[in-house]
Structure 1
């Protein structure tokens, strides 16, 4: 089960202040015009406004496991119940934010305050069929995690449809709260996915539609656990972290899963949002029988062995683009190591392959490319815990965006429990070639700097790339930040520093070739500079690199 490592914390907020034109004047070699816009000036350390009363100042503070959908002129974002200092407690569940520009966000209320009554009813109905005593409703420990929100058309009316996760943190055998002292030789209880809908998200008016699915096991009624260090999980599917997609053919699918045996896919009715088929009891004697009822497994990080029951992958997010379904996922615990990978398939139910050809559906090993990973540019402490993403398209454009939380590293001086700072990160996605020989085989990676709506200043020329860059080899290092090294692109087409050899640039495609790796170049804001300013950035990968290149021009 997913670990929320948010202990004693504080909370914070963000403010936007205007910048004069000369604050954002591009460097001389960028051949840009005087287009006016405002660079965000809020501090990423929002601990000085750590109170619920300051929530209207938060902007992107206190974002965790976000999901984004466009509705009635706004991008609405909802996420897991989490905040610095747990100040959200007692103020409803799945708090949201909304924005018109993806840069400035205002707080909006969530769909409900009290746990929906159907959760306790469903839990105890299942327990009764398992021969277990009911857990009194007042003794049930609820957790509210990871909603997904989409705009859908139902009966000619556009609505927001949200699937949300509620985790029951009591032991199965005794029904007691999940504490070490109460350990009874069983696993903790199941999670549920429910659904609600709204035509007035600004007013926090939602209609709950109830049960959709629940955690399910292929081990019958054997929910025993030998010890607290036993991770040979009872549940095959963990019913949290839903994602929701409508295919080009108009079919609706819910995909979910976290840390257990992999990701499940359920087809749902477009009108009701509920599973097309009756699920039946959430236990079976084997995986095949369970999958026939609770959904086909479309992916798993580990295909077999002990750790296949408790693997560090979660938070599937699926989009469709140009003939492929792209499945983004989070790897590892969320406090520091959290990182994002992506695989793809021509079919919604797989098989899904990574950029190297590994079969994620069959669990053939870690998948690449790396979309995000803990990192650090110079002049900052950098970011960790960057995953559980929302992937969405900007309305009426071809631009795709990545949004997740980012956490400050542990033990940042002057910030109590700094790793509990949860800042929302919005990044543009670039689609880059898998190799020089496959220019049309494009894969998504996120840009290294966050989105600030930098205007189009015109062509990025080859001459503007000459100079010194901060280069990061974004590779998989468990729990460690990838750090920047100096890279110089010389005017004669050679490189020195972090990379050597030659470089070239395709101005029309905005593709920079660094040796054997093609990266995509864009303008973004340098968030580490003081004051922040416009600069050039790049991101890209190569199918045999097992890493991603990130860069920022100094």
Structure 2
């Protein structure tokens, strides 16, 4: 388990540098394009800055809104949406104030930062760790180095359950902190998933229920590591990044895992929220996804699972975070009719057996007049049960050196985007962040004009940039996409050539001043996302 690899683990957020806060972040390498935006209407959307470095300190937390969001989990209590996340903030502003940042909102747009959900690390973590070490003939660790990562919160009956993750960042052999100077030829220690319960989220009163599961190895006491470039991990299942689902049949499942050997599904007792038995490695879960076919490969570059069930399609959808988190992070999705798989991609590839997962839903990108975003993954997916709308939430990072700030890649803005569904039952993420823009009837004539199109290829750490697209009144498309185009007004599907694109009215976050526009999102036949937004009348 490597802190510099796992999403929740990459907590190196450096001290703030002098950088002013702008509503729109200008790419210094590209001149501002002259565009004629669609006329403003009566809608007034969010105006808070994407670069929040000027208000990143703890004393400014009441102004954070969606600043300092990492690995979010979102749950609705009937009045508010609550968002919980990993211990991470620009400049480490949260340190010394507890663990698991949380905030709430009534509309998914304006968020009130509420503080921390956990006051201090539960004592069971150290006690359990040292009991394991004593049984292995190792010295106890007096002051473990903790990491608090990636909680997930769900309502279960009349209670709310938070499955949280605590890693121990000490070497197994010596017990010393994980630093290059301390490397002792061993892997780092166990990770633990614990459980807290609350009757009322507004009170922030949680009762800790102890350990649910820990990392587990199939190598007994062979925890040696040849060097820091050896990625053949000691643990088979890595107990981090939990997510949780109750199936239509009423069974409770914890899905977890990261990087090591893949993602597993663990059935838990509905009454306790824990597994009934952990006596053998088989009790720790069933493999449901891996990125490499080889059983010996424990460097999967895959983590942050999120799972939902869509009753309209009859599928479980498993969302996965791919690659390192600071820039390359991208989101994939696969689906199955069974909670334990097999999970298949859009091309029929078996992800449970180690196939590469498509579709890809997010990737580092940029529209004009903005630095763009990178590191967009480890998502929460949730539904507004009143409107039946689905939403995608994750962090997104600014690229390095944005606005001249060498540390801007440590700026993590919470993103909430609507999910649309293709006609064959795959989710797509909309290009612009959710702003509550009213959804009027959209006519064919609204769509003629100039657009920015991003046809996203998978390129490691490379932002996908937009190209100009023109939709002409004679129903031809030219530029980034070509062919004829048509529009189904009832379904709000824009068709360009062979592409079928979900359309909506949205908030143009890159425009200056911000205004409303039209956007689309769809998938190629191979599962690559296509995003677009209109830039002229």
Cα distance in structure 1, aligned partners of 2:80 and 2:295:
46
Cα distance in structure 2, aligned partners of 1:101 and 1:200:
19
Q: Cα deviation per residue 1:280-338 (whole Å; 9 max; x = unaligned)?
A: 26xxxxxxxx2x221111110112176x2012100000000031000001001110000
Matched, 1:345 2:336: yes
In the alignment, which residue of structure 1 is the partner of 2:473?
A: 491
Q: CA contact under 8 A between 2:22 and 2:50: conserved in structure 1? A: no
Q: Cα deviation per residue 1:425-453 (whole Å; 9 max; x = unaligned)?
A: 000001013xxxxxxx1200110100000
| Residue 398 (structure 1) shift | 1.1
Q: CA contact under 8 A between 1:370 and 1:475: conserved in structure 2? A: no
Matched, 1:332 2:340: no
Cα distance in structure 1, aligned partners of 2:272 and 2:233:
32
Matched, 1:407 2:393: no
- Where in structure 2 are the equivalents of 1:201-212 lying within 5 Å? 201-212=201-212
SS of aligned partner of 2:199: strand
Cα distance in structure 1, aligned partners of 2:410 and 2:490:
42
SS of aligned partner of 1:419: helix
| Residue 14 (structure 1) shift | 9.4
In the alignment, which residue of structure 2 is the partner of 1:192?
A: 192
When residues 231 and 99 of structure 1 are mapped into structure 2, their CA distance, relative to the original with a 3 A threshold, is same
Cα distance in structure 1, aligned partners of 2:383 and 2:515:
26
When residues 396 and 461 of structure 1 are mapped into structure 2, their CA distance, relative to the original with a 3 A threshold, is same
When residues 15 and 453 of structure 1 are mapped into structure 2, their CA distance, relative to the original with a 3 A threshold, is farther
Q: CA contact under 8 A between 2:13 and 2:89: conserved in structure 1? A: no
| Residue 485 (structure 1) shift | 0.2
Matched, 1:68 2:68: no
Q: Cα deviation per residue 1:171-209 (whole Å; 9 max; x = unaligned)?
A: 011111111111111100010000001123223211111
Cα distance in structure 2, aligned partners of 1:500 and 1:147:
45
Q: Cα deviation per residue 1:489-527 (whole Å; 9 max; x = unaligned)?
A: 111111111111111111111111111111100111000
Matched, 1:354 2:328: no
Cα distance in structure 2, aligned partners of 1:341 and 1:325:
14
Alignment match of 2:301 (pick from 312, 318, 321): 312
Q: Cα deviation per residue 1:124-177 (whole Å; 9 max; x = unaligned)?
A: 1111222222212xx200000000011120xxxx22210000000000111111
Q: CA contact under 8 A between 2:334 and 2:345: conserved in structure 1? A: yes
Matched, 1:296 2:278: no
In the alignment, which residue of structure 1 is the partner of 2:245?
A: 245
SS of aligned partner of 2:425: strand
Cα distance in structure 2, aligned partners of 1:451 and 1:492:
32
| Residue 6 (structure 1) shift | 2.5
Q: CA contact under 8 A between 2:13 and 2:88: conserved in structure 1? A: no
In the alignment, which residue of structure 2 is the partner of 1:130?
A: 136
Q: CA contact under 8 A between 1:14 and 1:59: conserved in structure 2? A: no
| Residue 60 (structure 1) shift | 0.2
| Residue 413 (structure 1) shift | 2.6
Cα distance in structure 2, aligned partners of 1:176 and 1:54:
36
In the alignment, which residue of structure 2 is the partner of 1:226?
A: 226
In the alignment, which residue of structure 2 is the partner of 1:371?
A: 361
Alignment match of 1:143 (pick from 147, 159, 165): 147
In the alignment, which residue of structure 2 is the partner of 1:436?
A: none
| Residue 395 (structure 1) shift | 3.4
In the alignment, which residue of structure 1 is the partner of 2:519?
A: 537
When residues 46 and 225 of structure 1 are mapped into structure 2, their CA distance, relative to the original with a 3 A threshold, is same
Matched, 1:86 2:92: yes
Alignment length, in residue pairs? 514
SS of aligned partner of 1:48: helix
- Where in structure 2 are the equivalents of 1:457-468 lying within 5 Å? 458-468=440-450
| Residue 415 (structure 1) shift | 2.9
Larger mean Cα displacement after TM superposition, 165-174 or 120-129 = 120-129
Q: Cα deviation per residue 1:474-500 (whole Å; 9 max; x = unaligned)?
A: 121100100000000111111111111
| Residue 5 (structure 1) shift | 4.9
Larger mean Cα displacement after TM superposition, 414-423 or 210-219 = 414-423
Where in structure 1 are there 5+ consecutive unaligned residues?
Answer: 17-25, 282-289, 434-440
Larger mean Cα displacement after TM superposition, 46-55 or 61-70 = 46-55
| Residue 460 (structure 1) shift | 0.9
SS of aligned partner of 1:550: strand
